[in-house]
Amino acid sequence: MAKMRILVTGGAGFIGSNLVHYLLDGAERDLGITVEKVVNLDKLTYAGNTANLEPLADDPRHVFVQGDILDSATVGTLLREHDINAVMHLAAESHVDRSIDGPEDFIQTNFVGTFRLLDAALAHHRARMAEGREDFRFLHVSTDEVFGSLTLTDPAFSETTPYAPNSPYSASKAGSDHLARAYVHTFRLPLVTTNCSNNYGPYQFPEKLIPLMVQKILRGEKLPVYGDGSNVRDWLYVEDHCRGLALALVKGEVGETYNIGGKCEMKNLDVVHTLIAAVNAEQPGLNRTPEELVTFVTDRPGHDHRYAIDCSKIERELGWSPKETFESGIRRTVRWYLDHAQWIDDIESKRYQLQRLGGV
């Protein structure tokens, strides 16, 4: 697959937009592939933001399309008209709290949407096969939350860990993973699946833990921490994740699953303390302290205690490993948010939604 024409779904969201940037700016350097075109399909729900893509405005290789993966006709047209030979599927509803408040959107997008995308991709692949072209690939991007929760002494999630989702979000993603597997084994769709740990970095929607806490630290507001802050997550810098995704797409074994993790387990309370220190370091004179900011709030329903990813398979078989430590990645992330205050302000004021509708 020396020359790639890639359909990215959900490419205006956090991980998706970082992936689009990486495909156009770093994939050839790192993987030796030529990306001729990235067709970026995004519904632009609340977390989709075309401002994430502004640096690509003059790049003719990037084609943005506002559309829904549930719309099979649109997906099929894009696959044919752009002669797509790779799909990277990231479009998803992904916030656990929102899935508790309203599960149906998660079932529709994550499960039904994935089914329709797989079906359209299979038809497209078969049409290309009939023409003697066998270079099609599909990457299905999932999460470690499908594996459920770990105790502090359990081994990390591996690719063979049984699924045990605990929220409507993780259940909908688990269902989509099973569909992806079925399309490989029943229909021979050349597909690879990845499951990742918690991502952080530029362009992350401000309701998520790290960007939310950064803004509150800057303003001197209370930092709400669920329970006693002992829940553990494995943190992965988003650019490291994107490099792993591109590698899995190009070199992954069809039908295989690869876990991508940051090799960085931390308690939520320790994450917050690290963020306070990082913001203080980037803003001399601020001197916020955990004692003045941290406040503990009632834990949410179904809050998994610990996630941890064993990423030895992708390290061993594909040669991937994370480049960023949590400390270095957090410093880069905090610096980005400080340098992009307008981006945050446009989201918090909902101006970004008005802008895409032709408003102010």
Query: What are the C-alpha distances in Å from 95 to residues 172, 195, 209?
Result: 12, 16, 11
Name the token pair of 311: 């990423």
Strands 265-267 and 232-237: antiparallel
What number of residues does the chain have?
A: 360
Marked catalytic residue, from 42, 68, 93, 144 = 144
Active site residue 144: yes
Tell which residue, 204, 170, 349, has the closest CA to residue 213: 204
Marked catalytic residue, from 68, 93, 145, 324 = 145
Instruction: Compute the Cα dihedral for 230, 231, 234, 237 and give only its sign.
Output: negative
259 forms beta bridges with: 195
Tell which residue, 268, 352, 295, 299, has the closest CA to residue 97: 299
Marked catalytic residue, from 22, 42, 68, 169 = 169
Looking at the annotation, which residues are catalytic?
144-145, 169
